[in-house]
Amino acid sequence: MPVDRSGPTPLHAQISDTLHAEIRDRTIPPGDALPSEAALCERFGVSRSVIRQALATLADDGAVRRVRGRAAVALGTGEHRRLVQRVTGLFDQFDSTGLSLGTRVLSLRRTTAPRHIAERLGATEVLRIERVRSTADGPLAYVRTWLPADRFEDLTADVLTDASLHRLLRDRFGVRLVSGRRQVRAVPADEHIASCLDVAPAAPLLLLEGSSAEPGGAPVEWFESWHRSDRIVFDIDAEEDAEQVVLSPAHRPAERRAPSGGADPGGGDPGGALQRARRLLAELGAELADLDTGNDPGPGRA
């Protein structure tokens, strides 16, 4: 493919425009490697320095990711990132970085909750909310949310348009969401969601689902959020200091009886202090597990 050497547009700009168009129309799909620098030199009939200028422009525009010693990799146009281990919703995460996220409410109605959601929320009558979140580049996520109906019966579709649900729950209802469990799965788009997200039926989506709870561990929200996998990346912070062992009731350490005289056989601790510490650790682990699953820890363990 020859370039125009007589016009005012620099060679590297012509090449970056051509490659950007191919990434945008998915001739080079997101995640695929671009041809090598040598192959691009041969294709466009230019020097390696011109190709490197073009690739640098694409990287600055967020169209490719460059790694030393490897071919550049195409990124989805309008690709965004989400921290999935945060309780903060997508709207607030975008807002904190200066990105605008639009919200269109498809429906908000009172209904009877499916059994698994009723068990999680502790409520049979719920509000079921269907929303589409979009950026200037188009739809990004389809969100289905359930809330206990009696607690939020004044919630309307109008106040949720282009707004943060979590912020509304805090400012209007005094409900602050501080914890929850999340899980991520890859799923095919059904026809309804595919239509709303402007993708083909059965296109791969990233499904983020889980619950959010207020202080004390009482669950307030259950949600399912389908994200376009070509437009969003899920980030996870990994920190050694944040790691902890949470013991489920099925894995509580067995208590050992101290021999007569009050000393623990594992460490010679007078008065059974080590045994009491182990018991407290087991109780704390069980309580943390209950809070993670949204269960009431029960009397004597709250």
- Domain containing 63 — which CATH number? 1.10.10.10
Q: What is the CATH number of the domain that holds 84?
A: 3.40.1410.10
Considering 36, 53, 74, which residue would you say is the last residue of a domain?
Answer: 74
What is the spatial distance between Cα 147 and Cα 159, in angstroms, rounded to a whole number? 15
User: Would 301 be classed as within a structural domain?
Assistant: no
- Around Cβ 149, how many Cβ atoms within 10 Å? 20
Q: CA-CA distance, 19 to 48, in Å (whole number)?
A: 16
Q: What is the mean pLDDT of the chain?
A: 78
**Residues 111 and 226 both lie in one domain:** yes
Q: Quick one: 106 and 210 in the same domain?
A: yes
H-helix segments, 3-60: 11-24, 37-44, 48-60
Q: Which domain holds residue 19?
A: 11-74
Would you say the C-alpha torsion 199, 166, 164, 100 has a positive or negative sign? Answer: negative
Residue 112 lies in a domain: yes
Is pLDDT of 275 > 80?
Answer: no
Work out the burial of residue 231: count CB atoms within 10 Å of its CB; fewer than 13 is exposed, 13-18 middle, 19 or more buried: buried
Given a cut of 60, whether residue 265 has pLDDT beyond it is no
Angstrom CA distances, 39 to 17, 48, 274, stand at 17, 10, 68
Q: What is the pLDDT of residues 72-111, one digit of tens each?
A: 988 765 567 666 666 666 666 656 555 667 899 999 999 9
Is residue 208 assigned to a domain?
yes
CB 181 within 8 Å of CB 172: no
Same domain, 185 and 208: yes
Q: Which of 101-115, 150-164, 212-226, 287-301 has the lowest mean pLDDT?
A: 287-301
Same domain, 101 and 46: no
pTM here is 0.55
Separation CA 286–CA 246 (nearest Å): 8
Supply the pLDDT for residue 256.
40
At residue 86, the pLDDT reads 64
Mean pLDDT of 44-67: 88
Tell me which residue has tokens 């309804």.
192
pLDDT over 90, % of the chain: 37
What does the pLDDT read at residue 32? 86
pLDDT of the residue at 30? 76
Q: Please, where are the H alpha helices in 72-200?
A: 90-96, 115-121, 157-160, 165-173, 191-197
Query: Among the ranges 82-86, 150-154, 189-193, 197-201, which has the highest mean pLDDT value?
Result: 189-193
Shared domain check, 278 and 196: no
Q: Are residues 103 and 44 in the same domain?
A: no
Q: Are residues 158 and 194 in the same domain?
A: yes
Instruction: Find the largest Cα–Cα distance for the chain.
Output: 98
